[in-house]
Chains A and B, each alone.
Chain A
Amino acid sequence: MYAWSDVFLVFLVLTNLVLLGSSRLVVYIRVSAVQGIVLGFLPILTHLHDATPRLLLLTCLGLVTMGVKGVLFPWLLFRALREANVLREPRPFVGYIASTIIGIAALAVSLRVGSRLPLPGEAFSTLAVPVGLYTFFVGLFLVISRRKALTQVLGYLVLENGIYTLGVALVSEVSILVELGVLLDAFVAVFVMQIAIYHISHEFQSTDVDRLAKLKG
C-alpha cells in the first residue's frame, strides 16, 4: 500500500501548486476541500497492512477528517464568501507567477530538509515528512502574501493540513484523542474566523486586510 500513499502525497503537492497560482476564491475553497479528502485517506493507508483494532480507530479518524476538512470547512467558507461578497484575490502582495516559483523552490527545500531530519524510520512513506513540511510552508506563505481575509483563513487551513500530514507521518503513535482535539480546535478556529470576516465586511465594507492598519506603534 506504500505506493498508494505516495500517489496521495504527490497529489497533495499538486493541489498546493494550484493554490499558489490561482486567483479565484472559489477555486481556493474547492482545492482545500480536495486536500481534506486526500488527508482523510492518509491515516487509513498507514495501517492498511495489518487489520488491528487500531485500523478501525484510524478509519474513523480518517472519515471524521474528510467530513470536517472536506465538507464542513468548505461549507463554512462558501457562506463567508457569500457574506463578504468577494470572488477574487485581486492584488496579492506577491504575484501569482512569483508565488508559483517560490512554491517550487520551497518544494526543493522541503525535500532536502525533510529527508535530512533525523527522524524515526517508521514513517509510512519517505515522502510524507517533506510533503507535510511543504504544505505547512505553502500555508504560511498564503497567510503572509494574500490580501483578502478569506484567503488568509484558507492559508491557515493549508498550514493545518501540513501539520496533520506531519502528525500522521511522524508519530503514528499519537493518540487518536489528541488528533481529534486538534481537529476540533481547527474547526472552532475556522468558525471563529468566519464570524470575524462577517463582522469585518460589515464594518469596513471590504475584507482587504491592509485596511486593518489603524493600530500602530
Chain B
Amino acid sequence: MQALLLWGMLLVPMAAGGACLLIPSARRVLDVAAAGVIASSALCAGAAAFVFARGPIFSAGGWLFLDALSAYHMLVMALVFSLSGLYARGYFAHELDAGELAPAQARQFGALFCTSLASMVLVLVSNNLGVMWIGIEATTLLTAFLICVHVTPTSLEAMWKYLLVCSVGVAFAFLGTLLTGASAHRLHLSTSDALLWTRLRAEASVLDPLSIKAAFIFVLVGYGTKAGLAPMHTWLPDAHSQAPAPVSAIFSGFMLNAALYCVLRYLPLVEGATGSPSFCLDLLAAFGLVSIVVSAAFIVFQHDVKRLLAYHSVEHLGIVTLGFGLGGVGTFAALFHTLNHSVCKTLAFFCAGRLGQRHGTHDMEALSGTLRTAPPWGGALFGSLLALIGVAPFALFMSELQILRAAVDGRSFWTLGIFLAGGTIIFLGALRHAVAMAWGEPHAAPAPDHPGALDRFLAWGPLALLLVLGVWMPPPLGDALRQAAMVLGGGP
C-alpha cells in the first residue's frame, strides 16, 4: 500500500505531463496540468502524513524510501506546486486572451511543468545517492525550456546560462557521489546496496574519513550551484527573472531547496565518518554567510522586481544554509525557514508576474503606486516583501530569530555580526524599493482588471498562512519539524 503510494507520486505527474502533450485546446492543457499537479501533491501530502505518524516507508528493494526529512520537504513541494499550478491556469489564461501564447507553447509548458514535479519527487524518494543525482540533473534539463516558454533573446540567454552552469556544477556533485561510493570500500557492499543512503548511514563510522570529506566538498559545490549559493549563483537572477512567473515560483519555492536537501543527506555520513559535525557545519555556515553578503550588495541596486526577488532567494537560501551550519536549534529553525521562504517567495512571484503582465514590464519604476492601482496583487507584493525582509510578526521573522538564537547559543559572534549587518542592508535596501512600489506616484495606469475569487485567494491565502505561522506553531507541524531535524542530528 505505502509502496504503491511512492510509485503513484512518481507516475501520476508523468502521466499528467504526457496527457498535456495530447490535448489540442490550450485551456484544457492548463486545466489538466493544474489537476495533475494537485492530484500528485495530494498523494505526496498523504505519504508525508503517513511517515510522520508511522515512520519511514521503503519500496523497490530499498531503492525508494521516504523518511521524516524527505517527507517534510515533500510537504513544502506539494504546497508550492499546487499553488503554482492553480496560478499558472489564470496567468496563462490572460496571455491566451491577449493572443500571446500559442497552443503548442501551452502544451510544452504543461508537459514540462508536470514532469519536473516528477523529477523533484524522484530526488526526494530515492535512497540511492546516484539516483538522487539523476533526479537533480533531470530537473535542470526539464525546466530549461520552461524558462523560454516565450522565445526571446534574453530568455534564451538565461536558459543557456542556466543549462550550462547547472549541468557543469551538478557534474561536480556526481564526482562527490562517486567519492562517497569509494569511501565505503571497507563495507564491501553488493552492487544493489552500494550508494544506498540508509546503508551508508547505518555504518557511517566505517567510511574512509578523508574520501568522504573530499566528497562533501564536491557535493556542496555541485548541489550548491543548483541551490543558488553564492558565489555559484550566477545563473539564478537571469533564470528567475526571465522565466514566466509560475516557473519562477517553483524555481525559487522548491527547486533550490531540493538541491540543498541533497547536500543535507551527506551531513550524517560525514559526521559519522569523522566523528564530529564541525567540518560540514563550518563549510555550510561560510557559504550561507557569503550568500547573505553577496545578495545584500545586489539587492540595493536592483531595478527589476523579479531580479530583486531572485536575489532575495540567494539571501534566504543563504539564511537556511547558515541555520543548518549552526546546528542544534539552527537545524530546526532552518527547516522552518525553508517552508516560510517557499510560501512567501511563491506569493511574491505570483504578484510580480501579474503586475508585470498588466504593465508590460518588471521595472520597479514603472510599477510604482501599485498598492492603489492594482489590488490585490500590489498589496500582496508589498506584504510579501515586508515578510521577506523579516518584519514581525510574519513567520520568516520568527525563524530568523531562532537562527540568531542558535548563533548566540553557539557563541559564534562573528557569524551573528555578519548576518545582522547583511540583514540590515537588505532590510533598508528592499524597504526603499517596496515603499516606492506601493506608494509612489502611479505612471500610466492600465485598465483595472477584475480579480476573481481564486486570484484573491492566491494573493491573500499565503500571506495569511505566514501570519498564522508567525504567531502560532500548529503542533503537527512542530512535530514534523522535530522529526526532520532529528534525521540530521539536530533539534531543540
Known: A122-B185, A159-B168, A173-B181. A196 touches B163 (CB 8 A): yes
Contact indicator per residue, chain B 119-155, by CB within 8 Å of chain A (1) or not (0): 0000000001011011001100100110010011110
Verify if B238 is at the interface (C-beta below 8 Å from A): yes
- Please tell me if the beta carbons of B214 and A174 are within 8 angstroms of each other in the complex: no
- Please tell me if the beta carbons of A170 and B301 are within 8 angstroms of each other in the complex: no
CB < 8 Å neighbour of B160 from A54, A117, A178, A196: A196
Given the complex, which residues of B lie within 8 Å of A177, measured CB to CB? 131
CB < 8 Å neighbour of B128 from A175, A192, A199, A214: A175
Verify if A55 is at the interface (C-beta below 8 Å from B): no
Bound complex: CA A96 to CA B141 (Å): 31
Bound complex: CA A69 to CA B335 (Å): 41
Given the complex, which residues of A lie within 8 Å of B404, measured CB to CB? none
Verify if B43 is at the interface (C-beta below 8 Å from A): no
Rounded to whole Å, the gap between the CB of A29 and the closest CB of chain B is 18
Known: A175-B192, A188-B141. A196 touches B181 (CB 8 A): no
- Please tell me if the beta carbons of B160 and A174 are within 8 angstroms of each other in the complex: no
Given the complex, which residues of B lie within 8 Å of A204, measured CB to CB? 153, 156
- Please tell me if the beta carbons of B134 and A185 are within 8 angstroms of each other in the complex: yes
- Please tell me if the beta carbons of A171 and B178 are within 8 angstroms of each other in the complex: yes
Bound complex: CA A166 to CA B172 (Å): 12
- Please tell me if the beta carbons of A178 and B153 are within 8 angstroms of each other in the complex: no
Residues in A190-209 with C-beta less than 8 Å from chain B: 192-193, 195-196, 199-200, 203-204, 209
- Please tell me if the beta carbons of A170 and B181 are within 8 angstroms of each other in the complex: yes
- Please tell me if the beta carbons of B137 and A160 are within 8 angstroms of each other in the complex: no
- Please tell me if the beta carbons of A182 and B148 are within 8 angstroms of each other in the complex: no
- Please tell me if the beta carbons of A200 and B160 are within 8 angstroms of each other in the complex: yes
Residues in B323-358 with C-beta less than 8 Å from chain A: none
Bound complex: CA A189 to CA B145 (Å): 12
- Please tell me if the beta carbons of A181 and B151 are within 8 angstroms of each other in the complex: no
CB < 8 Å neighbour of A143 from B134, B164, B175: B164
Given the complex, which residues of A lie within 8 Å of B189, measured CB to CB? 173
Closest B residue to A188 by beta carbon equals: B141
Closest B residue to A180 by beta carbon equals: B134
- Please tell me if the beta carbons of A185 and B137 are within 8 angstroms of each other in the complex: yes
Rounded to whole Å, the gap between the CB of B300 and the closest CB of chain A is 11
CB < 8 Å neighbour of B144 from A54, A178, A192, A203: A192
- Please tell me if the beta carbons of A203 and B156 are within 8 angstroms of each other in the complex: yes
Closest A residue to B307 by beta carbon equals: A217
Contact indicator per residue, chain B 222-241, by CB within 8 Å of chain A (1) or not (0): 00000000000000011001
How many A-B residue contacts, CB cutoff 8 Å?
129
Please report whether the interface of chain B is mostly helix, strand, loop or mixed according to DSSP: helix
Bound complex: CA A163 to CA B242 (Å): 32
Given the complex, which residues of B lie within 8 Å of A188, measured CB to CB? 138, 141
Bound complex: CA A54 to CA B158 (Å): 44
Bound complex: CA A77 to CA B160 (Å): 16
Given the complex, which residues of A lie within 8 Å of B210, measured CB to CB? 118
Bound complex: CA A200 to CA B158 (Å): 11
Given the complex, which residues of A lie within 8 Å of B179, measured CB to CB? 170
- Please tell me if the beta carbons of A196 and B144 are within 8 angstroms of each other in the complex: yes
Closest B residue to A175 by beta carbon equals: B191
Given the complex, which residues of B lie within 8 Å of A1, measured CB to CB? none
Contact indicator per residue, chain B 201-233, by CB within 8 Å of chain A (1) or not (0): 000000010110010000000000000000000
Bound complex: CA A189 to CA B136 (Å): 12
- Please tell me if the beta carbons of B164 and A199 are within 8 angstroms of each other in the complex: no
- Please tell me if the beta carbons of B195 and A174 are within 8 angstroms of each other in the complex: yes
CB < 8 Å neighbour of B167 from A173, A189, A209, A213: A189
Given the complex, which residues of B lie within 8 Å of A176, measured CB to CB? 191
- Please tell me if the beta carbons of A118 and B168 are within 8 angstroms of each other in the complex: no
Q: Which residues of A contact B (CB under 8 A)?
A: 54, 117-120, 122, 136, 140, 143, 149, 152, 156, 159-160, 163, 166-167, 170-171, 173-178, 181-182, 184-185, 188-189, 192-193, 195-196, 199-200, 203-204, 209, 212-215, 217
- Would you list 11 pairs from A and B whose C-beta atoms are within 8 A, ordered by A residue? A143-B164, A171-B178, A174-B178, A175-B191, A176-B191, A177-B131, A188-B141, A195-B145, A203-B151, A215-B157, A215-B241
Known: A199-B151, A199-B156. 5 other contacts (CB 8 A): A120-B185, A185-B134, A188-B141, A196-B144, A217-B301
